[in-house]
Amino acid sequence: MDKATTAKLDSVIAAAIQQTGIPGAIVGIWGPNGTYTSATGVADTATGAPMKADFHSRIGSVTKTFTVTALLQLVDDGKIGLDDPISKYVNGVTDGDRITLRQLAGMRSGLPDYTTSEQFATDYLADPKGGFTPEQLFAYIKDEPLKFTPGTEVDYSNTNTILLGLVVEKVTGDSLPNVIDAKILRPLGMDSTNFPTTNAFPEPHAQGYTNQTKDGTIAVATDWNPSWGWAAGAMISTLDDLRIWAPALAKGDLLHADTQQQRLQTVALTEGQEDAGYGLGLFNIEGWIGHNGSLPGYKSVAVYLPERDLTMVVLVNSDVEGDNTDLAGALVTPITEVISPDHIYG
């Protein structure tokens, strides 16, 4: 990109690192006016090792975009219907005969989020490196009532995507990681992206820092097992691979045009807030299409702005909660104020 824009972006990222306490950030922007990539701050607060642009990162809920894409590919193959009830594929879901796959993908099922269960939090923090099965995750809320009538509200719940992952496995007869690898990652050449089934973490990567601990102190979460997020949040990727994924997701490269059109139909996250909505496994925020992610130690945003043909990926190695550490507010919003002032992500 031109020197003036590059200087502004350098300043924004440096200020975010200095003011928020985020250890390090990896940023990539690609568009008609050029490319910008930056690795700022440290990958390891103990050694001072620098952050580098080729590091692998845990991407949290960006995983949802892959799971729902795999589901929609089954729609295109005629193997499932978006308006099928979840009870057709998974037993034991409260009111499962009136919750559809479309409602699950669009966060409109009314099912509570298992991650808000006190028992889940207790079990997870007791052994962060231990593993969960999808069935164990669902069991935390299996007998709880719906929060609202399916289809009437938008309420972000990881439970929805866990159930969709189980649908993909039942219909394909294969594991979700295998399906995503064969049907999404390999066709797009995303060789540095994977869906781990353990706490394994490809090198190179930054250390990740979190205060999601028993006593709220900051801990190194690099090797914590992401299986608790499974279809909703377990995947690992890189800047270069997410550069491929964000536009492919927004354009529907792997789906039929009609299916993609349905995917992009968003419902406002808050009544009257038409500039931010959720579609089928993706957000549209001021025209930026994609997803954000957060899990202990890492946060991410991977989005594409069709109107400007702009791709933006931001990865940081901390999810420490604080007054000024929100990734969108600290980094993504000010970045878009520079590169797309008419489409500010926030």
* Cβ–Cβ < 8 Å for 175, 196: no
Closest-CA residue to 205 (of 218, 214, 196, 217):
196
Active site residues: 61
Q: Would you call 137 helix, strand, or coil by DSSP? A: helix
* Cβ–Cβ < 8 Å for 166, 90: yes
Q: Provide the angle, in degrees to the nearest 10, between the axes of the packed helices 63-76 and 158-172.
A: 40
* Cβ–Cβ < 8 Å for 89, 83: no
Gap between the Cα atoms of 105 and 269, Å rounded: 14
Q: How many CA atoms lie within 13 A of 203 on its CB side?
A: 0
Amino acid at 325: T
Long-range pairs for 116-123: beta carbons < 8 A, 24 or more residues apart: 117/141, 120/228
Beta bridge partners of 297: 209
Q: How many helices (H) and strands (E) does the chain have?
A: 13, 12
Q: Classify burial at 224, counting beta carbons within 10 Å of its beta carbon; exposed 0-12, middle 13-18, buried 19 or more.
A: buried
